[in-house]
Amino acid sequence: MSERQRIDKWLWHARVVKTRTLAQKLAESGHVRLNGVRVGASSQAVKAGDVLTIALEERVRILEIRNFSDKRGGAPAAALLYEDLSPPPAPRVPAEPAGLVRDQGAGRPTKRDLRRINLIKGRD
């Protein structure tokens, strides 16, 4: 194995994205940083010890490159390619929409309350 690899191939082999095309688009879109510097091309070479900061849809992943692979393997093999330095995700707390909160013992909702509730929930 070589000591360098294209960033799009590494992202695909490490199972950060599902396809190589998505890896290329992710690298070219500016959502990937290599050692703190924004990556502009999918052909950018990475080496062991580099740190990637990847902005995905719901969270940011920080991965330190440990190894390379010649082919895409399963998840256990992909986990050997990097060390995950990402902070743990924040616990999800479901937010209650405004207008749905009623005091306990307030009785049945009025017609006006029901209209607000239905409007918030997207009902007609």
Residue pointed to by tokens 């743990």: 88
Residue 2 has pLDDT above 90, yes or no: no
For residues 22 and 79, membership in a common domain is answered with: yes
Domain assignment present for residue 79? The answer is: yes
pLDDT at 94: 66
Tell me how far the alpha carbon of residue 73 is from its chain's centroid: 21
Range from 13-22, 39-48, 52-61, 112-121 carrying the lowest mean pLDDT? 112-121
Task: For residues 48 and 77, state if they share a domain.
Answer: yes
What residues make up the domain containing 119? Answer: 96-124
Same domain, 29 and 69: yes
Please report which confidence band the pLDDT of residue 93 belongs to, taking 50, 70 and 90 as the band edges: confident
In this prediction, residue 22 carries a pLDDT of 94
52, 65 contact by CB (below 8 A):
yes
Asked if residue 110 belongs to a domain, the reply is yes
Same domain, residue pair 18 and 50: yes
User: What's the confidence (pLDDT) of residue 119?
Assistant: 80
